[in-house]
Amino acid sequence: MNLGKVAVLMGGSSAERDISIMSGTGVLKALQSRGVDAHAFDPAQRDLGELKREGFARCFIALHGRFGEDGTVQGALELLGIPYTGSGVMASAIAIDKVMTKRIWLAEGLPTPQWRKVASAAATRAAFAELGAPMIVKPAREGSSIGLSKVMSLEECDAAYARAAKEDAQVLCEQFVSGEEVTVPVLGSGAQARALPVIRIVAPGGNYDYQNKYFTDDTQYLVPCGLPAGEEEKIQALVLQAFQVLGCRGWARADVMIDARTRQPYLLEINTAPGMTGHSLVPMSARAAGISYEDLCVLLLQNAALDHGGKPT
């Protein structure tokens, strides 16, 4: 396959390093199985300048969280002139910041749960008084449910804030939406972008945390999702719009809660470098659409691009 020498960026220095290594290892094996000249590259252990010096033509970004999903590595690759998978600098920087993402979605009239940005335990207690129980407290710029708490009482606010603030100085308090949790991947860019099948997530006790995401087989992932007629298409259209207004490209995955009483879907967040592990949801949804894991990896790599300079020849 004439895609040149490819670096699979994995590992990195974020709190999601371990998950990134799992994702990157899967992608590396998939690309190599299709004849791609792919190599592992850990930016936490090697200088990014080596990518240029060693003749890498493209990068598959399997980094998660800060320094990999937030526009920083994308900016470095722009300067090096090496096309990469996923969204560009600005969309990546916005999407990892849940506060900025919500501001843009609300400005575009897209539904997202009520929220407050807080910078202290006292402000967290004040947010709880306004938003009510349950309330989600989480770092504004982390993923994989790291640092997240579900607060049921005023007394729990201080510990929840401390847990989130340990991961990020910017903390988000969000009104909890009681209902079904779904996730929707998007592939492509611009007018060619399309939403893949919706996956409905049924976690033990409704607790879709770090452990249940990656290290147990107790969480159920339903695809076909089994939602009432018309709901899947409505949610796919909403997620596609959420993807496009942020300027995302290549691929992403958005998480959505459906209010059990009103059936209104609410956008929670969007991941521009989603997981590609054995438990990950983009490969699962792609499989339901007839796209194998290996074909998905190659497709994403073929669409590697730069914000300035287009795709490689």
Catalytic residue among 253, 266, 280, 303: 253
Structure tokens at 63: 């980094």
The answer to whether 16 is a known catalytic residue is yes
Residue that is written with structure tokens 């409905």 in the block: 200
Catalytic residue among 23, 87, 92, 271: 271
Catalytic residue among 255, 266, 285, 307: 255
The answer to whether 214 is a known catalytic residue is yes
Query: How far is it, in rounded angstroms, from Cα 96 to Cα 266?
Result: 18
The answer to whether 269 is a known catalytic residue is yes
The answer to whether 208 is a known catalytic residue is no
The answer to whether 156 is a known catalytic residue is no
Catalytic residue among 11, 24, 65, 275: 275
The answer to whether 255 is a known catalytic residue is yes
User: Listing from the earlier edge strand, what are the strands of the sheet with 171-175?
Assistant: 115-118, 171-175, 135-139, 149-151
- Which residues on adjacent β-strands are paired with residue 181? 201, 257
- Quick one: how many helices (H) and strands (E) in the chain? 11, 13
Catalytic residue among 208, 214, 266, 293: 214
The answer to whether 144 is a known catalytic residue is yes
DSSP state string for 154-217: GGGHHHHHHHHHTT-SSEEEEEPPPEEEEEEEEESSGGG-EE---EEEE-GGG---HHHHHS-S
Catalytic residue among 69, 156, 232, 269: 269
Catalytic residue among 12, 16, 247, 303: 16
Catalytic residue among 14, 23, 92, 144: 144
Cα end-to-end span (Å), the chain: 13
Residue that is written with structure tokens 């929840």 in the block: 160
- For residue 80, how far is the Cα from the chain centroid? 25
The answer to whether 295 is a known catalytic residue is no
CA-based nearest residue to 277, from 27, 4, 1: 27
Query: How far is it, in rounded angstroms, from Cα 295 to Cα 76?
Result: 27
Catalytic residues: 16, 144, 214, 253, 255, 269, 271, 275
